[in-house]
Amino acid sequence: MNANNEIMLSSYTLPNGVELKNRVVMAPMTNFSSNPDGTVTDAEVTYYARRSSGVSMVVTACTYVTPNGKGFHGEFAGDRDEMIPSLKQLADAIKAQGAKAVLQIFHGGRMCPPELVPNGEIVSASDVPAERGGVSTEDPQLKPKSLSESEVEEIIVAFGETTRRAIEAGYDGVEIHGANGYLIQQFFSPHSNRREDQYGGSVEKRMTFPLAIVDEVQRVVKEHATTPFIVGYRFSPEEPETPGITMGDTLKLVDVLADKNLDYLHVSLQDFHSTARKGVDDLSKKRIDYLLETISNRVPLIGVGSIYSADDARKAFEAGVPLLALGRELIIDPDWVQKVAQGKEDEIVTLLDKTKQAELVVPDPLWNIIIKTPGWFPGV
């Protein structure tokens, strides 16, 4: 084994005392493969089980906390107690392979397809259409409805309720999905949040909703969990929109989150080594470096972003992150960690073999989207 791999293969203890067997995590990735009623399918369960024996922790695809938060076709649900057996099926499959199971909890906000939410009514912080990716981007008639204060409070409670279900289903933790343009980020963003109440205005006021969710999730954990339960928070550092979240805004948020007794923060990046776009003095400096400086060892940071080879991972760990998430690479090669541990890193596959869907145990809906999206995966 390459001696430089010792860091990534060494154990790591989270702030709450939960020990991870190594520093490599499976990143949350939408798989579009659940049943229409929000229950998980056998294909999803086997897909996760296939990828859970090497990594120390698996963060699932996002699960919606309210009916009007469903963001994807084939997304599994956590919005009602009837879903607990379904959620448990997935947690059990991940844990049986030796990984910690973390449920990512989410609300899609203005990015939800109208056909998936009650009465086709899309909601957000304000009635501002998305500029990219959402249905309201193409059809201004479908601009989101601004949530009332009482509706905002109901969603905050719903994040707590889904956390309780995760505890009852046997998960080891939850990850609050505050990234990728969904509702929590919509409240933090000056593009989507034009509110004039307690939830909008200055960058500090735009933190109110995300921080209220953190508080509610932690309250529920304290009340319902009988053993240490992981709570993480994922965020996107910047938005291309004007106005939009800047790197400077995110550093303010991260500075507050680092003191919230979370077990980790998880940055969402397409490229681990990407540089800041705006809002900071040095635009040649990597976002990861800015984040690590701001966090200053107060909370673990999970890095991510186009890590394929063992050499990619070693370079990422050299930047100083204690934990690293792999996403697409674990679909391409589910045995990545085992190959590193066995000194077989030259056998790691970094290009998707389009003839091996069955061997890779990838559900049809996810596989079809991968194959039809050139450039998303190396080799496609």
Q: Where are the domains of the chain?
A: 3-371
Mean pLDDT by 10 residues, the chain (380 residues): 84 98 98 98 98 98 98 98 98 98 98 96 96 80 94 98 98 98 98 98 98 98 98 98 97 98 98 97 98 98 98 97 98 98 96 97 98 94
> Could you tell me how many helices (H) and strands (E) the chain has, helices first?
15, 12
Q: Could you say which DSSP state residue 146 is in? A: E
Query: Which residues neighbour 34 within 8 Å (Cβ) at sequence distance 6 or greater?
Result: 40, 41, 44, 74, 75, 76, 77
As a dihedral over the C-alpha atoms of residue 284, residue 244, residue 302, residue 297, rounded to 10 degrees, the angle is: 70
Per-residue model confidence (pLDDT) at position 103: 98
Query: Which residues neighbour 269 within 8 Å (Cβ) at sequence distance 6 or greater?
Result: 237, 287, 288, 303, 304, 305
Per-residue model confidence (pLDDT) at position 132: 87
Query: What is the enclosing helix (H) or strand (E) of 87?
Result: helix 84-96
Q: Does domain 3-371 fall into CATH 3.30.1490.20?
A: no
pLDDT tens digit sequence for 199-239: 999 999 999 999 999 999 999 999 999 999 999 999 999 99
**Amino acid identity at 167:** I
Per-residue model confidence (pLDDT) at position 292: 98
Quickly list DSSP for 26-41.
Answer: EPP-----S-TTSPPP
Per-residue model confidence (pLDDT) at position 138: 77
Report the DSSP pairing between strands 145-146 and 123-124: parallel
Over the Cα atoms of the chain, what is R_g? 20
Write down the catalytic residue from 48, 171, 182, 264.
Answer: 182
Per-residue model confidence (pLDDT) at position 140: 73
CA angle 232, 233, 237 (to 5 degrees): 145
Say whether 264 is catalytic: no
